[in-house]
Amino acid sequence: MNEPIIKDHLGRKACKKIVSYCESWFIKHVVKPIFFLLPPSLLTMLAVRKGMQEDVIDYFGQTAGEFLNNSALLIIICTYIYVVLMRAIYAGIENHAKPAKELEVGDLLALLKAIDIVVGDKTKRVTSEVKGIINNANVINELKFLQSIRPEQQIPLLVVGLRSVFEYMDKQKTVYRVGLLRIENDKPVDWFSFDPASLPPRTEAQTLSAPTSTVSQCIKNKSLVIVEDIQKELNKRTKKERRYIKSNTQETDEGSQLCYPLIHPATNKVEYVFTIAGNRAGCLNENYSELYAWVIRHFSIRVSLEHSLLIVKEKANESTKEAA
């Protein structure tokens, strides 16, 4: 499966480049020591050594020499502050280059549990089928095997699992709604699955083909798209700036929206879009894009597999009907 584009803030992107550049051998062991140590060392020597002060007077005049002679203590203090500031600035750049949020052990366990539930469900069915084959000593029928794996049931379970992980990671008890849209010719055609069933989609799939919808922006750019505050997005002056459509959204509704494209590796086309909505403004944060993408990727890979199995099953059904 092809990976979608994960956009990053310019500031974080610049910090990552700086850190990456500074980690090269030449910069780390030659340039950085010179940059950090040479200026303060040179100034300290000029301030305390008489011979060097005379050289300064020769090159820069009597005023510079008097300043060095009268301000030796100030220069020494400033050189110390220089080193501290340089280290603090670089530490700040390193810190900003790091992911805004990292998964905790509990989050990882929730992710594994959600996936295990789906895999376990399929394992039970396939194991049951295999037991039947062993007991009957019959060769397995292709169509019967494909019916036993039931990809059309596995995909909704993956949607349920993804929702459970997002709700576990959220410490503010946000209610999330997760859907999977089927895409044809770069247009949403129907909701393949949605969870929870008690909170169905507010907008028809076809309506989301509007150019300013979060889904359409996701498909167009083949990238993860996050709208942190749906009301702020709707209040933007022009439609071109918006990445969210009003549809059935009320003025009192709060929330965030995320869309993640599932791209087919052979066609490079978007086949599905995961939609994740939370009922609290700011519950989905653009700073956490990489984290969200990492979590969703574990589910999107399995959805792509089940999608392929679904196609094979449909083709097998067609062949059986034609043969009959």
pLDDT over 90 (residue 27): no
Instruction: Look at residues 97, 124, 144 and tell me which one is the last residue of a structural domain.
Output: 97
In a domain, 226, yes or no: yes
Residues 44 and 151 in one domain: no
User: What gap in Å lies between CA 303 and CA 156, rounded to an integer?
Assistant: 9
Residues 25 and 127 in one domain: no
- Residue 109's CB: how many other CB atoms inside 10 A? 12
Residues 88 and 134 in one domain: no
Residues 224 and 297 in one domain: yes
Residues 160 and 51 in one domain: no
* 277, containing H or E segment: strand 270-278
In a domain, 146, yes or no: yes
Residues 86 and 221 in one domain: no
- Residue 247's CB: how many other CB atoms inside 10 A? 13
* 78, containing H or E segment: helix 72-97
* 297-324 pLDDT, tens digit each: 888 888 888 887 777 777 766 666 665 5
Domain that holds residue 27: 10-97
Residues 82 and 157 in one domain: no
Residues 126 and 48 in one domain: no
Residues 17 and 122 in one domain: no
Computed over every residue of the chain, the mean pLDDT equals: 77
Angle (deg, nearest 10), helices 289-323 and 151-169: 170
Residues 144 and 266 in one domain: yes
Angle (deg, nearest 10), helices 105-136 and 142-149: 150
Calculate the CA 21 to chain-centre distance. 23
In a domain, 60, yes or no: yes
276 token code pair: 């994740």
In a domain, 208, yes or no: yes
- Residue 221's CB: how many other CB atoms inside 10 A? 13
The pLDDT assigned to 48 comes to 64
- Residue 135's CB: how many other CB atoms inside 10 A? 8
Q: What is the CATH number of the domain that holds 273?
A: 3.30.450.40
Short-list 222, 290, 322, CA closest to 5 = 222
Tell me the pLDDT band of 54, cut-offs 50, 70 and 90.
Answer: low
Number of folded domains that form the chain: 2
pLDDT over 70 (residue 119): no
